A and B are shown apart, each in its own frame.
Chain A
Amino acid sequence: MSLAHLIGKTGKPYTVEIEKRHIRQFAEAIGDTNPLYRDEEFAKTTVHGGIIAPPTFPIAMSEESEEELDLGLDYSRMLHGEQRFIYTRAIRPGDVLTCQLKVTDVYERDGKNGTMEFIVMDTEMTDEAGQHVVTSRTNIIYRPISANA
């Protein structure tokens, strides 16, 4: 487990203010026309009580977190294997979220090109009250060098 030393590595916390416009642009890029992401009047009539962000929106914050933690890895060997979002509540415009990246697990599995390593990274997002909002869990496949040709 040559990457085991990465477990527990933690990035610097950073803060992101959630803008209505960013939520709308993110939904538009997906081609998601659900009024829940842009129409306050409609969104008020739903269980959410107002505009929320699409379920995969936290990824737009996780992208930033990788700049805050240098793991010394070869990016060309990294593949995005799995992604998970664990929600306490939906993200809303006006939220000021504090995000922090942490390596939570490293494990190995045998593949057809040799042993593959997996790195699990959590970006935890909390609101101004310190309450958990969502955890974005990224599972990275770290490919063997031999498969890199």
Chain B
Amino acid sequence: MLELAQLTTGQELPAYIKEPVTKVQLVKYAGASGDFNPLHTDDAFAQKIGMPGVIAHGMLIMGFLGEYVNHLAGTLATVKDFSMRFGAMTFPKDTITCRGVIKETYEKDGSRFAVLTLYAEKGPEKIVGSGEATLQF
């Protein structure tokens, strides 16, 4: 859990490693999110459009970053703004590591905020997406 008083700009936060993505997980995520695009659940369909097989929902990877953000926020901070830009594709068996860096901390209208730059990687320097979250303390 982050303690605002100890955060400094440029500080790297502890990385968070997810279990490898599974095909069952993609089916579960399709059901929970309502995104039933067969690209994420049907290998034959994915191959027909030129993929080696199903790919993960971009929003599942953003969900991993969201898990990381609320893990960092702990019991004291709330997420006010959270964004992600999608880059490379994630496949089943890929292991995603979430990383974060403190971009800035500031005070506004009597509240204190921390802005985090976020990365989701599937290997060293293989970034699948980057994002940003603003936490209110």
The chain A residues found within 8 Å of chain B, CB to CB, are 22, 25-26, 28-32, 34, 36, 45-48, 54-56, 59-60, 63-64, 80-87, 89-90, 137
- Which of chain B's residues have a CB closer than 8 A to the CB of A48? 78
CB-CB under 8 A from A22, the residues of chain B are 32
Which of A25, A47, A55, A90 is in CB contact (< 8 Å) with B75?
Answer: A47
Residues of B within 8 A of A34 (CB): 67, 70-71
1/0 per residue, CB under 8 A from A, across B78-114: the answer is: 1111111110000000000000000000000000000
Bound Cα distance from A20 to B80, whole angstroms: 21
Is the CB of B31 closer than 8 A to any CB of chain A? yes
Is B44 in contact with chain A by the CB < 8 A criterion?
no
A28 with B86, Cβ < 8 A, contacts A47-B77, A83-B59 known: no
Q: Which residues on B are within 8 Å of A, measured CB to CB? A: 18-19, 25, 28-29, 31-35, 58-60, 62-64, 66-67, 69-71, 75-86, 133
> Most chain-A Cβ atoms within 10 A of its Cβ — which of B34, B69, B81?
B34
B7 vs chain A, min Cβ distance (A): 17
> Once the chains bind, are A28 and B32 in contact (CB under 8 Å)?
yes
CB closest chain-B residue, reference A47: B76
Decide: A45 near B71, CB < 8 A? Known: A22-B32, A31-B18, A55-B82. no
Secondary structure of the A contact surface, majority rule:
mixed
A25-B32, A47-B75, A87-B79 known; A81+B66 contact, CB < 8 A? no
**Residues of the A chain whose Cβ atoms lie less than 8 Å from the Cβ of B76:** 46-47
Question: Of the candidates A36, A46, A59, which one forms a contact with B33 in the assembled complex, judged by CB atoms under 8 Å apart?
Answer: A59
- Pick the residue among B19, B31, B58, B83 that contacts A85 (CB under 8 A): B83
Residues of chain B lying within 8 A (CB to CB) of residue A82: 83-86
With a CB–CB cut-off of 8 A, which chain B residues contact A90? 78-79
Hey, which chain A residues are within 8 Å of B79, CB to CB?
Answer: 55, 85, 87, 90
Query: Given the complex, which residues of A lie within 8 Å of B75, measured CB to CB?
Result: 45-47
Assuming the contacts A31-B25, A54-B70, A55-B69, asked whether A64 and B81 have C-beta atoms less than 8 A apart, the reply is: no
Specify which chain A residues have a CB less than 8 angstroms from the CB of B60 in the assembled complex: 29-30
Is the pair A87, B28 in contact by a Cβ cutoff of 8 Å? Answer: no
B33 touches A29 (CB 8 A): yes
B66 CB contact (under 8 Å) in A25, A30, A45, A47: A30
